[in-house]
Structure 1
Amino acid sequence: MEQVALRDVRSYPRLELELEAGLVLVTGRNGAGKTNLLEAVHLATQGLSFRTRQDGQIVRRGAEEALARVSGSRGAVAVESEVRISTREPKRIRWNGAALASAEELRSRLHALAFTPDRLAVVKGGPATRRAYFDRVLARTLPARADVPTAYAAALGQRNAALRRVAAGVSDASALEPWTNQVVALAEQLVEARMRVLELLAPAFAERAGELGLESASLGYDADPPSRTALDERLPRDLERGTTGLGPHLDEIRILAGDRDLRTYGSQGEQRMAVLSLLLAESEVLADQVGVPPLLLLDDALSELDADRRRVLSDRLGASGQTLVTATGAEALPLAPAQLLVVTPGSIESG
């Protein structure tokens, strides 16, 4: 990414910004608009915000439309991405001047990974949060299987609806048959795809975590897709509850340091290191797959890390392609960035 143009995106009425390759440090006091800048870049490259799914919240207060545009190069190929959000019309996305049908299509062409403090929920949150996170990683790293989690969720929803109809006496038990068969087939595909994703991430995750001082880090997923026999055996309970009680929608993915599950036995600092290590691991996997590292957007990633770990992380980020990191002051970064940006409300200047 070389240029960013924003108009009426949250904090910025209008902004034209040139970015250097490498590690870009974005500084400013709390509330100045650092996170909003990263959010706008994420919008322009991924078609959505990392903070909200309500597009109207991205538009600057008092405005009716917001525009985020980035241009630069992907390897040796020049690219430009533009996302326009209106409070009155559907979102419009353009890639090199041509309209795209969806944000998913944009994300298939341009990768960007974000860290925010609330991403610690990947480790400290419940199993559903981890499943959702790794299924998003699945979509990025195994694009041919990107629709498997969605297809499984749709079949599961249909089976649950059929269970409730059968239990209410308004449908025959035979109505369950096609949905049960789909759930069994798609569950097997989903478990296999998740295992493949964890295999891809595990080596780099362990190495990056070890560099940050989180020793013997690993990912655990001991899941078996439900068989048709198993689902048939628990049918009475599923009918009573109106939901399917077996399947990968209930699986746990564990993030470990040695034999410690970091959800329960990890400090907040260790949980932060684990999430950052996952991001770095995915970045390496994507770089190996497509030959170009993804854009990294890290909001307040350096806090709660001691000086040694900040240096290790900064060195790694400096070698990872283009990265934008926010901090309240330049002293948070223990090396000289390729570019220093100072944010004040509504504007950005080179430091």
Structure 2
Amino acid sequence: MPPLSLTRLMLRDFRSYPALTAGFHGRIVVVAGENGVGKTNLLEAISLLGPGRGLRGARILEFGLHGPEGPLPWAAAGRFRGPSGEFDIGTGTPEGGPAERRVFRLDGQPAKSQADLAERVAAVWLTPQMDRLFQDGAGDRRRFLDRLVWALEPHHAREVAAYDNAMAQRNRLLAGERREGRAPDPAWLAALEDAMARHGVAAAAARRGLVGRLNAALEGGITGAFPAARLSLHCAVAAALDQAPALAVEDGLRAGWAAERGRDAAAGATLSGPHRADLGFTHVPKSLPAALCSTGEQKALLVAVVLAHAALIEQTRGFAPLLLLDEVAAHLDAPRREALFGALAALPAQAFLTGTDPAIFAPLRGWRRCSAPCPGRSFRMAIFPCRKPPESLYYG
């Protein structure tokens, strides 16, 4: 079965690119160049060809190349080859539509939903901003986990969004009670809490399931020379699912939220529920929480989790995801970099790597300039077929 691969990328007025058409014919693509030449923009464009807000999580108005009157209408399109053959995905500003809207097209036709894209394409990424994952708040780690779940269960995003929407409405009703001194309709609150319970338990169950599967993959040594990592989900709802069936957990959540309305109204927020979940990382050889590890060890743990996740997607969905690794070699020593390149060569996934120093990628010997140069750009694009391990690369 052929792996998922991006064979052509076309951009128009996207970020720093007035126009770009680039073909990719290898399985590992390295983009090396100075800061500010558009390396991350290229990866972001690829990430936007799948569901979600892309690797930066940016607002739609940030994507368009800025002109004298503000952001221009923009477009990004890719041609893919996958297990089901070739297909095209496009996204960007709707023709004649508002700049703050974004539309998708699948094989030239409007996509019904982002779930349609998720069935065809999966992508996982590492960016320098994610290096702060262990120091940032629980919300950042929870969103990181949700992206991992989404790549395996495309409908997970719908459950999370439905839960967040119902919770936001509940918070507004309770805030109105505190502000205006009148009790909201209890039936309306009960209906919102019912929706929160159903969607929240589904989301917590999906997170719990993925953490278990990832830990099994990590324990199996799938990440090679990278340190073994262990994930832990800190979530009262997930813990309750260990002890009781889902319907009983839903009933408990409804009863709990009904009893906590006064407290939550005073706080101006819902203080309990799956939206409070956190994801823990442990460096297994040292039995040390990731937050206490060195910067290099934290980076290695993240790489291990992403590689295990990519392998899990390949086993589950029949194709490996695109790997978008922005400045991935930063904070990795030479042995770990070579281990990364070896893991990428072994994994049946197309990978895009960026870096400022081409010498870092020296273990991927035999690299050459891309046959489709990017005019006006001061970076080089190199394609590595990786038909053999890095020490014996060749081009056919």
TM-score over 0.5 for the pair: yes
Which residue in the other structure is 2:203 paired with? 190
Deviations 1:67-111 (A, max 9, x none): 322213112501122223369624342222222244453234211
Which of residues 25, 29, 53 is equivalent to 1:24? 29
Residue type of the alignment partner of 1:325: L
- The counterpart of 1:165, out of the listed 168, 176, 179, is 176
Residue 134 of structure 2 aligns to a residue whose secondary structure is helix
Q: Partners of 1:72 and 1:172 in 2: how far apart?
A: 51
| Superposition CA RMSD, Å | 2.8
Instruction: Indicate the residue corresponding to 1:281 in structure 2.
Output: 308
CA separation in 1, counterparts of 2:134 and 2:221?
A: 16
Q: 1:340 to 1:315 in 2, by over 3 A?
A: farther
Query: Are 1:220 and 2:232 matched, yes or no?
Result: yes
Answer with 138-147 or 309-318: which moved more.
138-147
Who is 1:307 aligned against? 334
> Quick one: structure 1 residues 261 and 105, their matched pair in 2 at CA, closer, same or farther if it must change by over 3 Å?
same
Does residue 266 of structure 1 match 2:293?
yes
What CA deviation, in whole Å up to 9, does each residue of 1:213-269 have, x standing for no partner?
424x21112433254444455444223223222211112221112342213x12221
**When the two structures are superposed, what TM-score results if normalisation uses the length of structure 1?**
0.87
User: Aligned in 2, Cα 1:98/1:223: closer, same or farther, shift over 3 Å?
Assistant: same
Separation (CA, whole Å) in 1 of partners of 2:306 and 2:104 = 26
Name the amino acid aligned to 2:274.
P
**What residue identity is the alignment partner of 2:331?**
E
Does the CA-based 8 Å contact 1:20-1:338 persist in structure 2? no
Tell me, yes or no, if structure 1 residue 329 matches structure 2 residue 340.
Answer: no
Which residue in the other structure is 2:145 paired with? Answer: 134
For 2:60, the equivalent position in structure 1 comes to 55
Worse-matched range after superposition: 166-175 or 327-336: 166-175
Partner of 1:74: 82
Q: Does 1:317 align with 2:344?
A: yes
Q: Residue 278 of structure 2 aligns to a residue in which SS?
A: coil
Contact 2:31 2:379 in 1 (8 A): no
Normalised TM-score (structure 2) = 0.78
- Aligned partners of 1:205 and 1:280 also within 8 Å: no
Q: Which amino acid aligns with 1:195?
A: R
Deviation for aligned residue 1:184: 3.4
1:166-220 residue CA offsets vs partner (Å, 9 max, x unmatched): 33432257243333333334333332221111112222345568634424x2111
Provide the C-alpha distance between the structure 2 equivalents of 1:146 and 1:44, rounded to a whole number of angstroms.
Answer: 16
For the residue of structure 2 that corresponds to 1:147, the secondary structure is helix
Moved more, 269-278 or 230-239: 230-239
CA distance in 1, matches of 2:156, 2:10: 34
**1:298 and 2:303 are equivalent in the alignment:** no
Matches of 1:280 and 1:208, distance apart in 2? 11
Provide the C-alpha distance between the structure 1 equivalents of 2:309 and 2:369, rounded to a whole number of angstroms: 26
Q: Take 2:57 and 2:199, find their aligned partners in 1: how far apart are those partners?
A: 29
**Is the 1:110–1:294 contact (alpha carbons within 8 Å) kept by the matching residues of 2?**
yes
Q: Match of 2:66, SS?
A: coil
Q: CA separation of 1:348/1:92 partners in 2, compared to 1, >3 Å: closer, same or farther? A: farther
Question: Matches of 2:52 and 2:256 in 1, distance apart?
Answer: 41
Deviations, residues 277-296 of structure 1 (Å, cap 9, x unaligned): 22212211211122111111
Corresponding position of 2:281: 255
Give 2:387's aligned residue. Answer: none
Paired residues of 1:208 and 1:280 also in contact (CA < 8 A): no
**Are the equivalent residues in 2 in contact too, given 1:208–1:281 (CA < 8 A)?**
no
Instruction: Read off the aligned partner of 2:326 and give its amino acid letter.
Output: D
Of 117, 135, 150 in structure 1, the residue corresponding to residue 161 of structure 2 is 150
Helix, strand or coil: the match of 2:48?
helix
Aligned partners of 2:159 and 2:203 also within 8 Å: yes
Determine what percentage of the aligned residue pairs are the same residue. 26
Aligned match of 1:119? 130
Kindly indicate whether the alpha-carbon contact (under 8 Å) linking 1:68 and 1:82 is maintained by their aligned counterparts in 2: yes
Alpha-carbon distance between aligned partners in 2 of 1:156 and 1:71, rounded to the nearest angstrom: 39
Which secondary structure state, in structure 2, belongs to the residue aligned with residue 80 of structure 1?
strand
Q: Structure 2: where are the runs of 5+ without partners?
A: 1-5, 238-251, 383-396
How many angstroms apart in 1 are the aligned matches of 2:200 and 2:355?
Answer: 42
